[in-house]
Structure 1
Amino acid sequence: MPKLIVKRKSTFIDMTAMSDVTVLLLTFFMLTSTFIQKEPVVVSTPSSVSEIKIPETNILSILVDPDGKVFMSLDKQEDKANVLKLLGKDFGIRFTDKEIYNFSLQPSFGVPIQNMQEYLNMPSDEQDRLMKDYGIPTDSINNQFKFWVQHAREVNRDLVIAIKADQDTPYPKIKNIMNTLQDLRENRYNLITTLKNMPDNV
C-alpha cells in the first residue's frame, strides 16, 4: 500500500501591510502629539476638582517654585523676541540679533534683565543650572515681573495668563503676583492645578 505524502505548505507571512500600518500610525502620533516644554523647576501643584482646560496657544505661563521664585514662558518665538526688545529699551540694554534669537528659543525664562546678556551667551547646560537660582524679581523696589507681563500683553493681546505654583509656595508670594496682575488690570487668569478624584458619594 503506497504511503500518503502530505505536501508541506509554506509558513511565510507577508508583513509588508502591517509594516505600512505601523509606520503610518507612528507618523500620525508624532505629528499630532504635543511635547511638554522643559521647565526650570519642578513644582507639585495643589489639587482641585476643576476640569477647565487652558488653551494650547497664546499662553503666558507663570511658574512659581516653593521658594517663591518666578519663571515665565511664552509659546511663540516671535512674541518672546519682541518682549525682550521692549524690556531692553526700558532698562537701557541693547541686545544683539544673536542674543534675541537665542532668547526666542528658550522654553522658559527667569533671569533678571541685568544678567540676561551674560546668561544668553552661556552654554545651554550652564543656563539650565543657573536659571533655577535666579528667578524674575517681583519685589516692590525692582518688580521686573510687572514689565514682562505688561510688554507680553502689548505684543499679543490674545494672551491667556496661567499661574502654576507649587502647593508649598507661601501664600504671600502668590498674593504678590496677583497684586501685580491687578495693578496691570489683568484680573482674569487661570490657576493650574492637579485634578483630584471626586468622592464616590458625591
Structure 2
Amino acid sequence: MAKVKMSKKATAVDMTAMCDVAFLLLTFFILTATAKQPEIVPVETPASTVQVKLPDTDLAIITIADGGKVFFGVKAADVRIKTLELIGEEYNLSFTDEEKKRFSLMEEFGVPVNQLNGLIKLSSTDRNKEGVQTGIPHDSLDNQLTVWVKAARNANAEVNEKQLNFAIKGDAKEQYPEIKKIIDILQDQKVNKFNLVTGLRGE
C-alpha cells in the first residue's frame, strides 16, 4: 500500500507575545528603579577581601574624607525626618514641612547646624558643589556629630522600634587619628559594634 506523503510546511513562531512581555519587564524595571544619588565627596575606600553586606535598613553611615571632613546620613527617609525634628528641639531650630520633605531626600550631608536651613534650600546640584559642605563639627569644643548620632538612634528607636546600626566609610588616604575620633564618639554612646566600609580586593 502506498504511503501518503504529508506536505511539508515552513514552521513559523509568533514572537508577538514574547516582545510584549519583554517590553513590560523593561518598563517595570525603569519605573521601579531609583536613581543613584551623587556622592558629596569621592571616597576611595580601603581594599579588603572580606565580603559582608551592609544592612539595607536601620543603618546610618558616617563618611570621613577630604582632610577629616565628616558627613552623616541615615538610610530611611522617615527616620531622617524624625532625626531633623529632634535636632531642631536640641538647637531650638524650626523646620517647615517642605524643608523636612527636602531633608528626607538627602542621603548624606555635612554642615554645622547653623547652616542646615540654607543647605536644605539648595538644589541637589548646588548642594554637592565643592566647598559648599564643610563637614559636621566633631571636635572637643563643638561636637555636633555626637548630637546627630544620639538623635538618629532615638529617631530610629521611635519610628522603627529597632536599634540603629552604624557604618564608618573612610577614605583609604585618611589618617588613622581621624578615624579613631569617630570610633571614640560612637563608643562614648555605648556603640561598640559597627561596620567599616571597604572595597573588594582580588585574591
Contact 2:39-2:128 within 8 A present in 1 as well: no
Q: CA deviation at 1:190?
A: 0.2
Task: Find 2:197's aligned residue among 187, 192, 201.
Answer: 192
**Which residue is 1:153 aligned to?**
153
Distance in 1 between the 2:169 and 2:34 partners? Answer: 19
Give the structure 1 partner of residue 57 of structure 2: 57
For the pair 1:162 / 2:167, whether they are aligned, the reply is yes
Deviation for aligned residue 1:196: 1.2
The answer on whether the counterparts of 1:59 and 1:162 sit within 8 Å (CA) in structure 2 is yes
Q: Residues 1-202 of structure 1 correspond to what in structure 2 (within 5 A)?
A: 14-27=14-27, 29-30=29-30, 36-129=36-129, 133-156=133-156, 157-198=162-203
Residues 41, 132 of structure 1: 8 Å contact kept: no
SS in 1 for 2:72: strand
Unaligned runs of 5+ in 1: 1-8
Task: Please give the secondary structure, in 1, of the residue aligned with 2:128.
Answer: helix
Instruction: Answer yes or no: is the 8 Å Cα contact 1:40–1:131 preserved in 2.
Output: no
- Contact 2:49 2:200 (8 Å CA) reproduced: yes
RMSD: 2.5
Taking the aligned partners of 1:34 and 1:197, their CA distance within structure 2 comes to: 29
TM superposition score normalised by structure 2: 0.83
Q: Structure 1 residue 66: deviation in Å?
A: 3.5
Q: Which moved more, 1:114-123 or 1:25-34?
A: 25-34
Instruction: Write the deviation string for residues 38-57 of structure 1: whole angstroms up to 9, x where unpaired.
Output: 32111110011111111112
* Identity over aligned pairs, percent: 41
Which runs of 5 or more structure 2 residues have no equivalent in the other structure? 1-8, 157-161
C-alpha deviations, 1:40-95, integer Å up to 9, x for none?
Answer: 11111001111111111221011111311111111111111111111111112122
Letter in 2 for 1:125: T
Distance 1:152-1:18 versus aligned 2 partners, 3 A rule:
same
Deviation of residue 36 (structure 1)? 3.7
Mapped to 2, the partners of 1:54 and 1:123 lie a distance apart of 29
Deviations 1:170-192 (A, max 9, x none): 11110000000010111000001
Q: Tell me the number of residue pairs that the alignment of Structure 1 and Structure 2 aligns.
A: 190
CA-to-aligned-CA distance 1:78-133 (integer Å, 9 cap, x gap): 11111111111111212222212211111212111100112212233222216654
C-alpha displacement of 1:24: 4.0
